[in-house]
């Protein structure tokens, strides 16, 4: 589906950047409202994160029955997921199915990257340019660019000097990679590394994992979905969706009203065992009501998860190196794994702890650490993303008075409700900083953002209003509130991408709003019902 057309110029109602789950639903809603839209997408088809991240083992860490659109009751009845946690190919098939079912590709220019967007104060329009030479104008601009879509190169000296092939999990070759007979290095042990390492280990001759910070991981306990479970859920899917919408994380998980200190140790262990056996990733964070607030409650969960690592990994030194000790559980995103820790018991797998022996540089034959030279045929980088702000700041976005978004956010992102930012009128952002986004089931958050934004557009059309811009005071108050909620918890207590800590020089600001999707939805609805309190219309 590579683009072959010549540069296009034109005018439309809304320009939508991105054709992942957010962009697709936005196109659907806009069409239902009778508005014209032009979509711009860098990939050559729909799917967003699921189009790019094709590394072995890539799968969702939200249960497949939850990680799907709720906007169409027939769609959710017709589609069948095969496993508890869906694989990347299956999720991509779902995105393709939705695009076909609702004819959503029609308005999207694929293989096209937005390079700039400028607000024209005379015509009250956005002027968007692309790397294909297109120039589109529209009253509204929707940035549906994803939160984890700007891959990050690791800061390693002489990174290009390695003579063999290198692969990034975030832009994996579509034809796959055969590691048979190879000596492979994997750098990075976040979710992407933890999912891909067990499968690479099964194929490669040798695998060496370079770990800078160990992560807590919980086994997916994945498997085929029980048809009975599916049928039962499908019978009450509508109620289930309603529960998701008012939940904390966009999934319906039991959460405890008890403090970890109120419960005897053996009862706590039973509860943790049940969560572990169930493969309920975020169940650990809600296992007691103080896990993400009280360091000593958090330490109880951390001790349990470290004991699990020690019980799985045979070599005590390797087990200790794999145990996270420098941050609370949940302060770096919890990972969902299948046989990750077990992989270190294989004779062809070894671990290099970069805390004791950092990488000094790459060389043509491999990786040089302060201690040894390791020689490889191939290197896999699972080194993460410039999260949340990266995709929004990559193009040049220029708002009122010629101010760029990069300047406006030079000390960190500033949004009102995580949906809009002052000085950039008529620009809506889907799952941006200041919204629950990455802390939640993204499908639930995406639907809420798309619905809120399109309802605001419809409200403006009914009143003949041309321009919406959040007030600086409302935005400042929102940013303060987002920080206040975050600082009440332990979430900011790790060097995580939530904080931008993984990108050298990036302002350290806790970006997601962590009060939960239910309370957040109430706030957004309250603002809308109060005639869009905090916004100025022109």
Question: What are the tokens at 489?
Answer: 């918890």
d(CA 1, CA 44): 6
Question: What are the tokens at 490?
Answer: 């332990």
Q: Which is nearer to ligand N01, 12 or 431 (CB)?
A: 431
Q: Which is nearer to ligand N01, 69 or 497 (CB)?
A: 497
Q: Which is nearer to ligand N01, 154 or 412 (CB)?
A: 154
Q: Which is nearer to ligand N01, 40 or 151 (CB)?
A: 151
Q: Which residues of 500-521 are buried (b: 16+ CB within 10 A; e: fewer)?
A: bebbeebeebbbbbbbbbbebb
Chain residue at closest Cβ approach to ligand N01:
190
d(CA 83, CA 86): 6
Provide the minimum distance between the beta carbon of 147 and ligand N01 in the complex, in angstroms, as a whole number. 8
Provide the minimum distance between the beta carbon of 188 and ligand N01 in the complex, in angstroms, as a whole number. 3
Residues of this chain that interact with ligand N01 (CB under 6 A) are: 60-61, 148, 154-156, 169, 187-193, 195, 212-213, 333, 336, 354, 382-385, 438, 497, 502
Q: Which is nearer to ligand N01, 354 or 458 (CB)?
A: 354
- List the beta bridge partners of residue 361: 368
d(CA 146, CA 23): 9
DSSP state of 499: G
Provide the minimum distance between the beta carbon of 85 and ligand N01 in the complex, in angstroms, as a whole number. 8
d(CA 3, CA 181): 37
Provide the minimum distance between the beta carbon of 112 and ligand N01 in the complex, in angstroms, as a whole number. 25
Q: Which is nearer to ligand N01, 191 or 253 (CB)?
A: 191
d(CA 527, CA 451): 14
CB 62 within 8 A of CB 441: yes
Question: What Cα–Cα distance (Å) separates residue 449 from each residue in 444, 514, 525?
Answer: 9, 16, 11
Provide the minimum distance between the beta carbon of 409 and ligand N01 in the complex, in angstroms, as a whole number. 20
Q: Which is nearer to ligand N01, 56 or 516 (CB)?
A: 56
Provide the minimum distance between the beta carbon of 189 and ligand N01 in the complex, in angstroms, as a whole number. 4
Provide the minimum distance between the beta carbon of 367 and ligand N01 in the complex, in angstroms, as a whole number. 10
Provide the minimum distance between the beta carbon of 58 and ligand N01 in the complex, in angstroms, as a whole number. 6
Greatest alpha-carbon pair distance for the chain in Å reads: 69
For strands 108-109 and 37-40, give the pairing.
Answer: parallel
Q: Which is nearer to ligand N01, 120 or 153 (CB)?
A: 153
- List the beta bridge partners of residue 185: 208, 379
Polymer length in residues for the chain: 538
């Amino acid at each position: 589906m590579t683009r072959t057309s010549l540069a296009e110029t034109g005018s439309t109602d809304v320009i939508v950047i991105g054709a992942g789950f957010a962009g697709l639903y936005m196109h659907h809603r806009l069409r239902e409202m009778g508005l014209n839209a032009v979509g711009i997408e860098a990939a050559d088809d729909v799917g967003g994160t699921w189009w790019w991240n094709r590394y072995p083992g890539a799968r969702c860490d939200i249960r497949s029955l939850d990680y799907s659109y709720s906007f169409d009751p027939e769609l959710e009845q017709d589609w069948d997921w095969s496993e508890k946690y869906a694989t990347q190919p299956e999720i991509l098939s779902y995105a393709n199915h939705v695009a076909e079912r609702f004819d959503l590709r029609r308005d999207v220019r694929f293989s096209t990257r937005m390079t700039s967007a400028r607000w024209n104060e005379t015509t009250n329009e956005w002027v968007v340019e692309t790397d294909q030479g297109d120039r589109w104008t529209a009253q509204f601009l929707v940035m549906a660019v994803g939160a984890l879509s700007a891959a990050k190169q690791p800061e390693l000296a002489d990174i290009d000097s390695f003579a063999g092939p290198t692969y990034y999990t975030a832009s994996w070759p579509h034809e796959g990679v055969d590691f048979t007979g190879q000596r492979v290095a994997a750098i990075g042990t976040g979710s992407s590394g933890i999912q891909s390492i067990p499968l690479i280990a099964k194929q490669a001759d040798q695998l060496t994992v370079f770990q800078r910070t160990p992560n807590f991981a919980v086994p997916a306990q994945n498997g085929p979905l029980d048809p009975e479970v599916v049928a039962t859920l499908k019978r009450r899917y509508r109620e289930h969706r309603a529960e998701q919408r008012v939940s904390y994380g966009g999934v319906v998980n039991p959460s405890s009203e008890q403090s970890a200190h109120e419960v005897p140790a053996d009862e706590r262990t039973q509860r943790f065992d049940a969560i572990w056996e169930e493969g309920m990733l975020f169940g650990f964070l809600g296992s007691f009501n103080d896990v993400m607030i009280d360091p000593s409650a958090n330490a109880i969960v951390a001790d349990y998860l470290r004991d699990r690592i020690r019980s799985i990994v045979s070599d005590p030194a390797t087990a200790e190196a794999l145990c996270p000790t420098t941050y609370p559980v949940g302060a770096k995103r919890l990972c969902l794994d299948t046989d990750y820790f077990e992989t270190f018991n294989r004779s062809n797998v070894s671990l290099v702890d970069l805390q004791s022996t950092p990488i000094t540089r790459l060389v043509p034959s491999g990786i040089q650490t302060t201690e040894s030279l390791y020689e490889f045929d191939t290197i896999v980088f699972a080194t993460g993303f410039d999260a949340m702000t990266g995709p929004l700041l990559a193009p040049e976005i220029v708002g009122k008075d010629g101010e760029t978004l990069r300047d406006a956010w030079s000390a960190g992102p500033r949004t009102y409700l995580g949906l809009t930012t002052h000085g950039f009128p008529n620009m809506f952002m889907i799952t941006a900083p200041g919204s629950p986004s990455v802390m939640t089931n993204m499908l639930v958050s995406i639907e809420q953002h798309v619905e809120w934004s399109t309802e605001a557009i419809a409200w403006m059309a009914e009143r003949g209003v041309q321009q919406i811009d959040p007030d600086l005071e409302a935005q400042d108050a929102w940013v303060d509130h987002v920080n206040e909620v975050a600082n009440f918890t332990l979430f900011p207590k790790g060097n995580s991408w939530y904080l931008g800590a993984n990108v050298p020089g990036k302002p350290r600001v806790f970006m997601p709003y962590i009060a939960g999707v239910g309370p957040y939805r109430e706030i957004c609805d309250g603002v809308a019902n109060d005639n869009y309190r905090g916004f100025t219309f022109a």
